[in-house]
Structure 1
């Protein structure tokens, strides 16, 4: 696969290679795209544009096949492992991309795993081509949880979802709703709901979704339910861990470069032993975060739900600890400039800080891990 819409096309991917070689080629191609469209200045310009993101980068993701990974071939998808999507998420995390790649892929995989053939045909080809964006809306407003009731030959939803990642630009929402004593999932076109879009403090987009008596046809309900939702949320958390690992790597690289070039008392900062210890601690946390994320990604591709949940919770806690340490050290070792919005360190700190608060905090995942282990 090649990128044909850019002046310097990325390397073609040789489909005859094994999965590891293909993954490496895909990473190289993605890095080429990001180098072309995601310098820090280009990221700022993209955020300040009307779209608040890079339309050219999103088109490139589609042309590279990143939006087709692991989806059914009859819908335009490509055979791939979950680790291939995680590789893309990690690489994008290092560039702090603004586009909702993870929300769209989580929703697309949920449709591929739990939708009817007709539902897949209605939405997946558009997602693969980059024309449709999707997001999973699952976090209820405690005062107004989303409820589903029968309404004529279809369904009626009412309630509100909060902080839907990618919900600001989604064309399709997969909404979880309470139906009697169970959880049901519904395909809801974004035009049918009212949404309050906003930017998070790391500049990525989200939205609160208001469902005020939204009427849907009978075939809007997905045949899957709570188990599929649990798997999708774990996949979203694991991919967020991969994104965070990419940001951790970028923060470490930025800090090493700064401490090597910045001089005090006639010496580079990285020549002082106390700072060397801090840099080593950052690298150790990067290695731990990467390893435990790989374990969680592999568990998401397995069939053991308990093992998956345990691995994902362990990764979320450990990567969260690494994100906090590396983010704080990155800012501190940069001094005052580390908090200036015109410099990359502040944005990496914000992205890592948002990760720690997203997809369940430390206490939630520690409690879940303990409950699954005892």
Structure 2
């Protein structure tokens, strides 16, 4: 299969890489992650200025109307720089959901603001009760008084403390799902915020009989299909981010092994470590191939083949995150776990990626279920 990219796609990749290299060095990132908000609105505005936040916005709403492959390229470059801004949840998942489900009025209200970086949206779907079915949720939306009453909780919602808009999934009395675009300052929302292991911010969201107007619901149709599509698009994008981080971590390890000397020679000369780094390279290449497959399948119609491909990608990439991360830390020794070295930050992000959107074990079960 030909995995070469078009001239426009290569330009998009290089534009993103130049931005990350110019404005998101390791020291700049440390200052951002240690700030009160854990992100940079200036960086977010810069991402909007170069058009990245409009990547999945339809052309009629002033966007680029790109697809999963373009998303993969941008996410890979952002993964190389360990960018902590909420690109995945806002510019990819939330933007895609509104573009797919929103009415004309809702699209005109939200998509230009999202593309311009004026609003950060967070896709709030994950719940604490683990389930093999990602569409099986307990949060409910009950029609009442010309609107809906939202009750329930969402668990470990990345970037929720920074959000202006929450896209909350809830189950209607008839059993189908609906998606609501709810301003983050709506009364009845209790947010428990905390830092995550990978230097980001997340929160548990508790909806305590929260009333929202009817026009906060995105469209009146059954949202199950769109939510499933958005979750798979997000999973493919996360896999792409992992490949960017894997690239940088492998390169840092090879460079260190060539410079660090033991017994008068670089440790990269030792055959045992050469074998380790060769295995790291194999895992990285397998992860990249599966990321391509995930991006291609994410743009297809839902079905068993798409589910199998995306779960297979998450399994292979999850295994690569664990193996490459652990080997990089071991080869670096004690330095590999210090905050002063970028290796530890790549390791922690890869650790988190392996857990997000379903663990390796859960996707192995999903892969098997899709085959039967």
TM-score normalised by the chain length of structure 2: 0.92
Separation (CA, whole Å) in 2 of partners of 1:24 and 1:174: 32
SS class of match (1:173): strand
Q: Which moved more, 1:214-223 or 1:147-156?
A: 214-223
- The equivalent position to 1:310 in structure 2, one of 308, 311, 332, is 308
Separation (CA, whole Å) in 1 of partners of 2:190 and 2:246: 36
Instruction: Show the counterpart of 1:47.
Output: 33
Q: Which moved more, 1:310-319 or 1:136-145?
A: 136-145
SS class of match (1:168): helix
* 2:139 is equivalent to residue 146 of structure 1: yes
Separation (CA, whole Å) in 2 of partners of 1:360 and 1:19: 29
Separation (CA, whole Å) in 2 of partners of 1:290 and 1:265: 36
- The equivalent position to 1:292 in structure 2, one of 290, 293, 307, is 290
Is residue 201–residue 354 contact of structure 1 (8 Å, CA) maintained in 2? yes
Is residue 194–residue 202 contact of structure 2 (8 Å, CA) maintained in 1? yes
Instruction: Show the counterpart of 2:95.
Output: 108
Deviation track 1:202-226 (CA, whole Å, cap 9, x = no partner) reads: 1112111121122111121123411
Instruction: Show the counterpart of 1:271.
Output: 269
Separation (CA, whole Å) in 1 of partners of 2:192 and 2:260: 44
Is residue 56–residue 95 contact of structure 2 (8 Å, CA) maintained in 1? no
Separation (CA, whole Å) in 2 of partners of 1:84 and 1:348: 23
Is residue 157–residue 214 contact of structure 1 (8 Å, CA) maintained in 2? yes
Q: CA, structure 1 residues 263+19, in 2 after alignment: closer, same or farther (shift >3 Å)?
A: closer
1:252-267 map, 5 Å: 252-267=250-265
Offset of residue 37 of structure 1: 2.0
Separation (CA, whole Å) in 2 of partners of 1:323 and 1:28: 24
* 2:170 is equivalent to residue 184 of structure 1: no
Separation (CA, whole Å) in 2 of partners of 1:125 and 1:285: 40
Is residue 37–residue 162 contact of structure 2 (8 Å, CA) maintained in 1? no
Deviation track 1:41-84 (CA, whole Å, cap 9, x = no partner) reads: 11111112233223332122111111111321121211322111
Instruction: Give the structure, 1 or 2, with the largest relative contact order (CA under 8 Å, sep 6 or more).
Output: 2
Offset of residue 367 of structure 1: 1.0
* 2:192 is equivalent to residue 196 of structure 1: yes
Instruction: Show the counterpart of 2:8.
Output: 22
* 2:60 is equivalent to residue 67 of structure 1: no
Is residue 191–residue 206 contact of structure 2 (8 Å, CA) maintained in 1? yes
Offset of residue 178 of structure 1: 1.5
Instruction: Show the counterpart of 1:172.
Output: 165
Instruction: Show the counterpart of 2:148.
Output: 155
Deviation track 1:129-165 (CA, whole Å, cap 9, x = no partner) reads: 0111111111224499321111111111011111112
Separation (CA, whole Å) in 2 of partners of 1:78 and 1:122: 17
Separation (CA, whole Å) in 1 of partners of 2:147 and 2:128: 24
Separation (CA, whole Å) in 2 of partners of 1:361 and 1:50: 30
Is residue 66–residue 85 contact of structure 1 (8 Å, CA) maintained in 2? no
Separation (CA, whole Å) in 1 of partners of 2:311 and 2:163: 27
Instruction: Show the counterpart of 2:347.
Output: 349
- The equivalent position to 1:211 in structure 2, one of 162, 184, 207, is 207
Separation (CA, whole Å) in 2 of partners of 1:154 and 1:225: 17
Number of aligned residue pairs:
357
Separation (CA, whole Å) in 2 of partners of 1:51 and 1:140: 24
SS class of match (2:167): strand
SS class of match (2:181): strand
Structure 2, unaligned stretches of length 5 or more? 131-136
Instruction: Show the counterpart of 2:104.
Output: 117
Is residue 34–residue 57 contact of structure 1 (8 Å, CA) maintained in 2? no
Is residue 93–residue 245 contact of structure 1 (8 Å, CA) maintained in 2? yes
Is residue 33–residue 57 contact of structure 1 (8 Å, CA) maintained in 2? no
SS class of match (2:83): coil
Separation (CA, whole Å) in 2 of partners of 1:354 and 1:19: 29
Separation (CA, whole Å) in 2 of partners of 1:274 and 1:225: 52
TM-score normalised by the chain length of structure 1: 0.92
Offset of residue 167 of structure 1: 1.3
Separation (CA, whole Å) in 2 of partners of 1:238 and 1:19: 17
Instruction: Show the counterpart of 1:10.
Output: none
